[in-house]
């Protein structure tokens, strides 16, 4: 079988990314231009700023991905584009570029679901997956446990009912004035903290595999800033994170990190007990977290289930996972026309 080269393009949030992947798994290049510096002062992604930054970066990033892979446009078998879900203005920038390249070079266009692509990321620089698997996506926008019967045959069996786990890390970092992006900032602050210092709630939603992170966020807020006075817009707090000493902030970060990860891992353990699977797949920005990675290793050892954990560089948003999943779809006969639409949300 001749090998195939797929260009992936990703612009769903605040990373502008392009990658070339051979046969779905072998990453030839993976270029990611982050916009953290642009969004830092707002402690979150500003959609309008993100779209404009994607526009400036998309072509240089694609060119760099092709150059680094030493691949010419005419050698591509397909162009994969993350077209859902995400920020609509951001998605449209990548989608426009992908369509233009597809049209100009007469190369098939393959629309890829960003969340499904996170579940492909364990294959990158590694082996294809044996199905059925249990899949975990822990990112800034999604917290899901799924039954994965194929690259895009995915049924969600547990999901967050409010904040995503990465969003909770980002909000915790804002409460603790720890920096941006929140996940790595909390992880760093937690390093020398006592994770038992604060008794923060680990949510359990009855017998379901669903998650809730808003209670944990509020508990951290009150622990750090004290009980609120007043209501609505006139609410005020007796203190802020900067009134705490460094060790108290470290302890709060460690206690938060422990509770947030405990809630995720409890449900994964539950799901592993309920379902016979060949392996556990894990991807998404939060799976870059060392405590979570160690906990996944522990749980999979205990359940004698092979763990397929994305390499750290492929946990956060990247285009290699888009190219890889596009390859899987393309080899199964899936491609899309130039009328492919971007979608901020995906039903179901």
Question: Out of ligand KG4, Zn ion, none, which partner does residue 288 contact, by CB within 5 to 8 A per kind?
Answer: ligand KG4
Question: Out of ligand KG4, Zn ion, none, which partner does residue 158 contact, by CB within 5 to 8 A per kind?
Answer: none
Q: In what order do the strands lie in the sheet with 109-113?
A: 26-34, 15-22, 5-10, 78-84, 109-113
Establish whether the linkage from the previous residue to 41 is cis, with ω within 30° of 0: no
Binding positions for Zn ion, 138-177, rule CB under 5 A: 139
Q: Report the alpha-carbon distance of residue 243 to residue 263 in Å, rounded.
A: 29
Q: Which is nearer to Zn ion, 251 or 317 (CB)?
A: 317
In the block, tokens 């996940």 appear at 183
Binding flags for Zn ion, 100-139, as an x/- string (CB under 5 A) = ---------------------------------------x
Q: Which is nearer to ligand KG4, 89 or 166 (CB)?
A: 166
Q: Report the alpha-carbon distance of residue 117 to residue 137 in Å, rounded.
A: 10
Question: Out of ligand KG4, Zn ion, none, which partner does residue 135 contact, by CB within 5 to 8 A per kind?
Answer: none
User: Least CB distance from residue 196 to Zn ion, whole Å?
Assistant: 31
Q: Which is nearer to Zn ion, 82 or 193 (CB)?
A: 82
Binding site for ligand KG4 (CB under 6 A): 13, 139-141, 166-167, 169-170, 181-184, 187, 284-286, 288-289, 316-317
Q: Which is nearer to ligand KG4, 76 or 315 (CB)?
A: 315
Which 3 state secondary structure label does DSSP give 19? strand
Q: Report the alpha-carbon distance of residue 20 to residue 31 in Å, rounded.
A: 9
Alpha helices in the chain (DSSP H): 36-39, 47-69, 88-105, 114-118, 165-175, 182-190, 214-225, 246-274, 290-302, 320-331
Q: Which is nearer to ligand KG4, 5 or 190 (CB)?
A: 190
List interacting residues with Zn ion (CB under 5 A): 139, 317
């Amino acid at each position: 079988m001749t090998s195939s080269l797929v260009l992936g393009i990703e612009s769903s949030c605040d990373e502008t990314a392009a990658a070339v992947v051979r046969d779905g798994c072998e990453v030839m290049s993976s270029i990611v231009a982050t916009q953290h510096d642009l969004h830092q002062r707002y402690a979150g992604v500003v959609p309008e700023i993100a779209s404009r930054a994607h526009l400036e970066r998309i072509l240089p990033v694609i060119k760099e991905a092709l150059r680094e892979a030493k691949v010419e446009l005419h050698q591509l078998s397909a162009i994969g584009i993350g077209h859902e879900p995400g920020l609509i203005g951001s998605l449209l920038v990548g989608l426009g570029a992908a369509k233009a390249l597809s049209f100009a070079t007469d190369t098939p266009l393959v629309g890829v679901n960003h969340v499904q692509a996170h579940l492909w990321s364990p294959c990158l620089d590694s082996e294809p997956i044996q199905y059925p698997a249990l899949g975990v996506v822990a990112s800034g926008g999604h917290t899901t446990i799924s039954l994965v019967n194929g690259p895009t045959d995915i049924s969600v069996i547990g999901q967050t009912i409010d904040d995503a786990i990465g969003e909770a890390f980002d909000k915790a970092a804002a409460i603790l004035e720890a920096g941006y992006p929140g996940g790595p900032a909390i992880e760093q602050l937690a390093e020398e903290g006592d994770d038992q210092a604060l008794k923060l709630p680990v949510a359990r939603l009855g017998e379901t595999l669903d998650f809730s992170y808003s209670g944990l966020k509020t508990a951290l807020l009150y622990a750090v800033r004290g009980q609120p006075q007043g209501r609505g817009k006139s609410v005020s707090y007796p203190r802020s994170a900067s009134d705490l000493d460094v060790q108290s902030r470290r302890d709060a970060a460690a206690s938060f990190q422990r509770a947030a990860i405990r809630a995720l891992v409890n449900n994964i353990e539950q799901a592993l007990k309920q379902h016979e699977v060949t392996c556990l797949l894990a991807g998404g920005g939060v799976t870059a977290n060392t405590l979570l990675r160690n906990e996944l290793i522990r749980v999979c050892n205990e359940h004698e289930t092979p763990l397929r954990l994305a390499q750290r560089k492929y946990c956060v948003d990247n285009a290699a996972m888009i190219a890889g999943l596009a390859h899987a779809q393309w080899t199964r006969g899936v491609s899309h026309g130039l009328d492919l639409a971007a979608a901020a949300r995906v039903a179901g």
